[in-house]
Structure 1
Amino acid sequence: MKRLMRFGLVGFLGFLVDFGTLALLLHQTSLGPLAARVIAIALALLVTWQCNRLFTFGASSRTVLAEGVRYGSVGLVSSCINYAVYSALILTLPAVNPLIALIFASAAALAFSFLGYSRFVFRN
């Protein structure tokens, strides 16, 4: 339960990075919501890897490179789920605010992320 709570805190931090980066890119650049989201997801993934490694699960017994590849693999699949939901909302409901779509997309990827990270990446 403690690990799940820490994962939730790190996930919330990642969500804030994702949300803040997306908002900044949408308001300060000419990027559209789909391109801006790719950058936001990538940055959030890097932040959550480091935080999960240090705070939630602890470093695995693997090398940083091996752990990073595993984390990236789970993160890529989770990001694809996240991005698919986000894109579907943006493309099918043009009136939806991209930041609202991000909230729903992030929730859709949450369970997969926890199971993948806890069972595949940080399991010693």
Structure 2
Amino acid sequence: MVRLSSLNDAARLGRKNAVIRPSSNLVLRFLEVMKKQGFVENFQRHGGHTPGHITVEITDKLKKCVLLSQRFDTKSRRIDAWARQILPAPEVGHLVITNFLGVMDHREAKKKNLGGRILGYFY
């Protein structure tokens, strides 16, 4: 199981870089969503096909980042209920959802009227 505690620690301590071990394609897609929302500036995978590590440059916006170990299924009409339950405020943060179109945040999934599995969240 990949833990993103190094991102939380770096954000709390005011650091700009963090290292995530081990790397996986799912974590890379999670980081792509974070980059699209402006919480991560850049990231790079090291180690090729072996479980290496990912170097991440974070921004000052990041407060907390969690990759859930249990994936919760949700329908598109229940996404707002999950967001109210997990996120600290209505317009703060993003749920990361995976479905057959890929990995996206909850606002994009709601706009496309898609459900999926909740991977995690960040704010």
Shorter-chain TM-score above 0.5: no
Q: Report which of the two has the higher share of helix.
A: 1
TM-score of the two chains, using structure 2 as the length reference: 0.30
Q: Report which of the two has the higher share of strand.
A: 2
